[in-house]
């Protein structure tokens, strides 16, 4: 069975390799589109990561001389997406609870009318009942 070492290039062979401009541009586009990373290209093609960074600086569309690139870490982006999903889920649950509350209040109202008994007590738990205040100042 063949081993990985049999397919790796020697240091001398790596020094003699020349990547075409088309290949470099293609790999830079993949990096910019977040399809791959510099380290993945470095490992796959056995080229130093600093050399790939040179390709990015030379062929990258998002890089211009004199400009600095501010990169948001992917972990922050993932956290933001997770938090947005959590917010959406909580809003959905809140909406469901509001519908349930309205349903229960209506059910109690209908039961009071149907059976002629007072189910809700004026315990002061709602703003319009209880402590004798009318809400007017």
Q: Evaluate whether residue 55 is within a structural domain.
A: yes
Q: Tell me the two tokens of residue 19.
A: 């990547």
Q: Are 78 and 104 within one domain?
A: yes
Q: How confident is the model at residue 93 (pLDDT cuts 50, 70, 90)?
A: very high
pLDDT over 90, % of the chain: 24
Phi first, then psi: what are they for 34, rounded to 5°?
60, 30
Q: Are 60 and 76 within one domain?
A: no
List the domain range (segments joined by +) for residue 45.
17-65
Q: Evaluate whether residue 125 is within a structural domain.
A: no
pLDDT digits (tens, 9 = 90+) for 124-135: 555 554 444 444
The pLDDT of residue 40 is: 87
Q: CA–CA distance from 27 to each of 18, 33, 37 (Å)?
A: 14, 10, 9
Q: Are 23 and 59 within one domain?
A: yes
The pLDDT of residue 130 is: 47
The pLDDT of residue 35 is: 86
Final residue in a domain of this structure, among 47, 65, 83: 65
Output DSSP code: residue 10: P
Which residues have CB under 8 Å from 19's CB, separation 6+?
45, 47
Q: Are 46 and 79 within one domain?
A: no
Q: Evaluate whether residue 132 is within a structural domain.
A: no
Give CA–CA dist 103/105, Å, rounded. 6
The pLDDT of residue 82 is: 86
Give CA–CA dist 120/106, Å, rounded. 12
Q: Evaluate whether residue 41 is within a structural domain.
A: yes
Q: Are 80 and 113 within one domain?
A: yes
Q: CA–CA distance from 3 to each of 6, 7, 8, 77 (Å)?
A: 6, 7, 9, 39
What is the DSSP annotation of 22-91?
A: HHHHHHHHHHHTTSS-HHHHHHHHT--HHHHHHHHHHH-SS--TT-------HHHHHHHHHHHHHHHHHH
Domains in the chain: how many in total?
A: 2
Q: Evaluate whether residue 76 is within a structural domain.
A: yes
pLDDT digits (tens, 9 = 90+) for 5-61: 544 666 666 566 788 888 888 888 888 888 888 988 888 888 889 999 998 988 887
Is the pTM of the predicted complex or chain greater than 0.85? no
């Amino acid at each position: 069975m063949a081993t990985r070492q049999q397919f790796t290039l020697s240091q001398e062979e790596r020094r003699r390799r020349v990547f075409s401009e088309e290949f470099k541009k293609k790999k830079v586009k993949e990096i910019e589109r977040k399809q791959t990373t510099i380290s993945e290209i470095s490992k796959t093609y056995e080229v130093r990561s600093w050399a790939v960074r040179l390709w990015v600086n030379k062929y990258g569309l998002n890089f211009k001389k004199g400009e600095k690139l501010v990169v948001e870490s992917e972990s922050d982006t993932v956290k933001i997406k997770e938090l947005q999903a959590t917010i959406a889920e909580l809003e959905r649950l809140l909406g469901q609870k509001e519908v349930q509350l309205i349903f229960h209040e209506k059910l109690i109202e209908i039961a009071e009318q149907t059976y002629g008994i007072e189910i809700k007590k004026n315990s002061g738990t709602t703003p319009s009942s209880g402590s004798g205040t009318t809400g007017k100042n």
